[in-house]
Amino acid sequence: MVRFKNRYFLVGFRFASQEESARALKILTHKSLVDLIRDAILSLHGQYGVSCVQKSLSVKYITLTLASPLSDVRGTTIAQVWAALTTITNIQQCPCTAQVLHLGGTIQSCQKFLIKYNTQKLRGMLRESDSLAERKRMGEKIKAVLQRDSVALNV
């Protein structure tokens, strides 16, 4: 039997500076992000691309730390959306680059990946930190985050 499948993109937006990131996150909404992605698809794939995607495109979450929206899109148009997402170069006149971090079949799989990804980033920052006090502080924060996230997702 034919099964109805969704695909969820985990996208990370990287800005030039923290101020621009904070400014963009303040004014970013679900609707504005959907319009941004739709404009990117319209530019790259035209009216045909937009019509393939319009019905099922939506933004589920925008996190505060990384601005990682998840888009719900049907399987047949994955390549079109992925290519369009990578062509996004600015959000509300703030220059940025969009990187597709993960493509999953459920929101939970994207969240699990995000936890692993952030943990790796934190461990990288821990390795690069200079002073002992800073290392200790970061180590405690990482432990607290891991405990909290493992409880939340039953990992």
List beta partners, residue 73.
Answer: 7
The answer to whether 77 touches 84, Cβ cutoff 8 Å, is no
C-alpha dist (Å) from residue 125 to 17, 56, 71:
18, 38, 29
Cα distance between residue 94 and residue 14, in whole Å: 10
53 lies in the site for another protein, by CB under 8 A: no
Q: Pick from 9, 45, 67, 96: which binds another protein (CB under 8 A)?
A: 45
Comparison of 37 and 66: residue with beta carbon closer to another protein: 37
57 lies in the site for another protein, by CB under 8 A: no
Shortest separation between residue 48's beta carbon and another protein, angstroms: 5
Residue 31, φ and ψ in degrees, nearest 5: -65, -40
Which one of the spans 26-34, 38-46, 54-62, 91-99 is the region binding another protein (CB under 8 A)? 38-46
Question: Tokens at residue 137, please?
Answer: 């502080």
DSSP classification of residue 75: G
Shortest separation between residue 84's beta carbon and another protein, angstroms: 9
Which one of the spans 15-23, 27-35, 36-44, 56-64 is the region binding another protein (CB under 8 A)? 36-44
Q: Pick from 43, 89, 147, 150: which binds another protein (CB under 8 A)?
A: 43
Given the structure tokens 């180590």, which residue do they identify? 139
47 lies in the site for another protein, by CB under 8 A: yes
